[in-house]
Structure 1
Amino acid sequence: MRAIYDYIIYTDGGCECNPGGRGGYGAVIINNNTGEFTDISGGFRSTTNNRMEVMAVIKALEKIKKDTHVQLFSDSQYVIKTMNGMFRKKKNIDLWKKLDKLAVAFEIEWNWVKGHNGNTYNERCDTLCQEAMTLPELEEDEGYMNTDSVSEQSDTVTQSLEKYNMYPDCSDVESYQEKYLVNPICAKLICQFYKQNRKKFRDYVGLRTDGTDFWSRKKKNAIMDIKEYSTDIWDIIVDHFAETKYQMMCIRWCARGLALGDAIKKVQVDMEVAEKCLANKKRDM
């Protein structure tokens, strides 16, 4: 008896320092008709989180037979909501065109899966993705370098964003505390954080302010003025977070010294933890 779905696919993508850092994708392909499991992955020298999420789906679909029924899972709302018609395709047009062309050859059910929530295949994809970023030889994401999503930015803007993704000097905790106006425990945790070669989910969870600090009640414009940020950093934050409270959490972590990519990841991790706690509370009621 033939399976309802010919293939079940899990995908994941990420960027070490978003945007512009090393990135990777990973996918697990399950052939329901043969029982075969296939892992695929790849790494790129300079890219973005969202491009790697889309790339993972493209690479997975390129590996399977056309005219088949596919159940696909991704932890990227960006991918799932776009393919289900809820988001417009404004950026990464080169990849969306490729995915649209591929997708018409299949019957695909697009499903979102919560990341870092114990799903075996999602966790496997994350591992593949992280490992791909550390490969000695990484591919060039030519689409990132050449498409409108990047060419819209001038060279000056690109250079200004690169400085926001530079790691802070963590050689001395007291100096860090004084420079970034954070509490002693926060300074210590950030300095420890940047000594990690490969930052994991729990490393982001461990970062905390240890109470109110100089930045806790500062509004957006005040932070932008004090830190002399350009508007481009705010535009990137808004692209990642729709709600103002998460946007402010992110800009405040930047002010405390986190690289932009790490500040974005920190807020995303905090959001996941909060959602999990809320779900557990509802379950126990």
Structure 2
Amino acid sequence: MNGIINVLKPTGMTSHDVVSRIRRIISQKKVGHAGTLDPNAAGVLLICAGKGTKLSDYLMAFDKEYVFHVKLGLLTDTFDIYGKTIHVDDNLKEIPVEEIRSVLDGFRGESYQTPPMYSALKVNGKKLYEYARSDIEIERKKRRIYIDRIELLDYSFPYIKVKAKVSKGTYIRTLCYDIGERLGTCGTMENLVRTFAKTQAIEDSYTLEEIENMYKLGNTSFLKKYDEVLKLDSIMFDDNDIDKLKNGIKVKSNEADGLKDMFYIRDVHGDILGIGEKSEKNLIKIKKRLI
């Protein structure tokens, strides 16, 4: 089985737990995920199966959309409600909704964010949360992020509900902290749901139970083809050129004019051989083979 599954990850499971469960369901070892979700987060988790695992890096590179709640006036060591409380703002007063909208608007565009200590980011071969659990603070480099869209969905003091479309590497827990700080208090993430990843929406995701039941009945429609998820232009080659490409030989194609850096290489039947890249004089080679 080669393809991508849009899984509705439940809270309480790690992304690795989901991968392990899918491996057991479809009886296949080669399974991975494209973009970690924290154990306490839910929503869209793209699972790659078989040769689809070769696409994980491409899928992780795209923006994702989240819906989350921020609790104002509370700060924990993990920046979410599951952490240890380190500060409560006893002087917190209700903030006008216009001020909240204005602050959220200020996050749009490019900015820099410091990864939280409780994260899986590695420093010197060790995950940050491992240092944090030993009460060791590690200096972290700020990372460039981009917030394409952010909006207030609901406000019930001291909770604000937010939807945001963000770039790869954006920590929503840190964003909640920063929102609280700009509002003159502190903020902690109450919950988090990933609603969109690449071209896949939460409305089209499958629970693990649904996938298992479908598979038992011989229904594998939950497994999406590569081009249903990673939508790219294509170049078609005849059998002779396909043989050359398979053997690592570059093939010239005038169809490459105007194509972006990534595109599918297809045979005359329309089957995807892999992801191609072009060099000078429109010479094409396979960058990532998928069959």
TM-score, length-scaled by structure 1:
0.26
TM-score, length-scaled by structure 2:
0.26
Larger Rg over CA atoms: 2
- More helix by proportion, 1 or 2? 1
- More strand by proportion, 1 or 2? 2
The structure, 1 or 2, with the larger RCO (C-alpha pairs under 8 Å, 6+ apart) is: 2
